[in-house]
Chains A and B, each alone.
Chain A
Amino acid sequence: MKLNRRLFMGTTVAAAASLSAPMVLSASGKPRVVVVGGGAGGATAARYIAKGSKGAIDVTLIEPTRTYYTCFFSNLYIGGLRDFSSLGHTYGKLAADYGINVVHDWAIGVDRDAKTVMLAGGDKIPYDRLILSPGIDFVDGAVEGWDVSAQNKMPHAFKAGSQTQLLKAQIEAMPQGGTFAMVAPPNPFRCPPGPYERVSMIAHVLKQKNPTAKILIADPKPKFSKMALFQDGWAEHYEGMIDWVGPDFGGDLVSVNPDEMTLTIDGEVNKVDVCNVIPAMKAGRIAEIAGVTNDKGWAPVNAIDMSSKMDANIYVLGDSAQQGDMPKSGFSANSQAKVCANAVRGSLTGSKVFPAKFSNTCWSLIDTNDGVKVGATYQATDEKIAKIEGFVSKVGESAETRQTTYEESVGWYSGITADMFG
């Protein structure tokens, strides 16, 4: 009942906005868009709004870090197939070439009545439309024995940067014949194939440097993305190295002890050398602070324009959004950002609003040149972003196909990062 009303309100407001396309002006004479989070969703949205409106909209991008390290391809860095520096991107072009006001600070509050965003540095930034794309945060207490203060002993490496470097260093320092353990997250989480691509890349490193080492995965899910492809690839490339413990064998009943470096699965204590804990996730905290999240910790949005179901002036993109069928990926966030940018421009300047179209492809690398992919197209329905049609790589494809798939992913990486950062 409650959900229905919200849904109804949300779509009506959005439809009204795109029909009448009112001009909204700020004191400076230009409508103002504030974007929180300069990642796959936020950087893309800021760039498309600035580019499309040709200066008619004031765009401010709030992002604490000066260099954004992509989670995408961070597993390849762990696997030794990519430099760390190649994952880093800066905001210089967004500021210089697109006139975006890039503010390196944290957003710590949103006043929805006054329509302002509070920054950690003390400033208040007014907005006509606010776009939140803050990625994910972890659910407190999701893995017994682990909290963020343990992240140096047991890294998550699910926000890229120093965490990724730490995890790589720990893997390289493992004793011969040691054990790498992963606590995999429950659904929904960012990058469904991510943990399993990571296992593949770690196995790739261990096979060369530490061939008697073992990999242990405790997983609360009975099935995971591209499962058949990964398991087939693991058997082919890393025979006998990887143990996957699903919920049938207690993969959902885990606790860790970061001081002792133990992982307990269904009462059985395992001494491990590296433990990659990837806890359950929720929307980035600022979405919760803004009051646009639900009891599951995600921000429900309207599929036609990514506007929040709680506030018609706020849009939520990427991992934080609860939108329907799209997986939480960089590709999805980038795709949603363009639909949102088009709608936001329309609502502020009266520019033409085109129908929402979404797509996603996630590539994963199992071993050198052994790439696989899964993808789909999506449309906006009243209820959600709904899948139209999809595909997935097949078990037993030729080595040539797999190599082409990998090469395609390299092209995609340069494409999406150019699309985000100009």
Chain B
Amino acid sequence: MLGKHILVIMAVACPSYAFAGAAERGEMVFKKCRSCHEVGTFAKAKVGPPLNDLIGRVAGSHANVKYSKAMVAAGKDGLVWTEEVLDQYLTRPRDIVPKTNMTFRGLKKPEDRADVIAYLKTFLSDEIIVSASNDPDVSPDILTIAGDPEYGEYLSGTCVTCHQVDGTDQGLPSITGWPQSSFVTVLHAYKTKHRENPVMQQFAGALSNDEIAALAAYFQSVP
């Protein structure tokens, strides 16, 4: 009885069932990574970096991690953890960054790599915040307001009391580097109380349309 219930709820909550399956299998695969990497709300740096918001991150760029020189250099040379690059790297890490500290030998099976990447993708805060939302459309007049980034920087003081300005997710979603239109849409969803968090409703509620545009302009420019 209970089992059935859970199944029903899951099916409703995860419209793309195949994706959920991959991510779930990926969670099992990720056990191999756990001795060195954390992921999730409270993820911290261990031997390796926390893997929230990994996709799109520059290699060797997490603030709280002691990387190998090779990894930092690779990042400086432009290595970014896209899904394709991760897939190659996870096949045999030392083929991609020969002197990486990561002693893990690799995941031979392509489906294991795909699953673990699907799992890591569930920890992309932008993804969760921006695309998974059913936020109401914001009128074009508001969406196209040109925000003043200098004013936005001042206003951002309020945001970074909780959110990390370096864009990491340390329990709260990353808010840097978003496309302006998404940022504006999300803040308006709080302002109009379509989104529920009362802390955010209150902050957004105190902002004018111009101020929201200013914040969006500023945060888009923060890497």
Contact = CB atoms under 8 A, between A and B. Distances in A.
**A and B are partners in one complex rather than unrelated chains:** yes
Interface of A: 48, 331, 334-335, 338, 342, 352, 354, 357, 359, 361, 373, 375-377, 379, 388-391, 407-408, 410-412, 414-416, 418-419
A376 B203 CA distance: 8
Contacts of B42: 407, 410
Interface string B140-171: 00000000001100110110111111100011
A418 to B, nearest CB: 6
Contact of A418 (B151, B165, B201, B206): B165
B202 A376 contact: yes
Contact of A357 (B162, B172, B206): B206
Contacts of B12: none
Interface residues of B, number: 26
Contact of A335 (B158, B163, B165, B202): B158
B160 A415 contact: yes
B160 to A, nearest CB: 5
A389 B200 CA distance: 12
Contacts of B164: 414-415, 418
B171 A407 contact: yes
Contact of B201 (A391, A411, A412, A414): A391
Contact of B203 (A354, A377, A415, A418): A377
Rank and list the top 7 A-B pairs by shortest CB-CB distance, nearest first. Answer: A411-B171, A411-B172, A338-B157, A377-B206, A415-B162, A391-B198, A414-B170
Contacts of A357: 155, 158, 206
A293 B127 CA distance: 50
B114 to A, nearest CB: 29
Given A354-B155, A415-B172, 8 more contacts: A334-B161, A354-B154, A357-B206, A379-B206, A391-B199, A407-B42, A408-B172, A410-B41
Given A354-B151, A414-B171, A389 B202 contact: yes
A335 B155 CA distance: 11
Contact of A359 (B163, B197, B203): B203
Contacts of A418: 160, 164-166
A82 B159 CA distance: 25
Contacts of B203: 359, 377
B193 to A, nearest CB: 11
Contact of A411 (B154, B157, B162, B206): B162
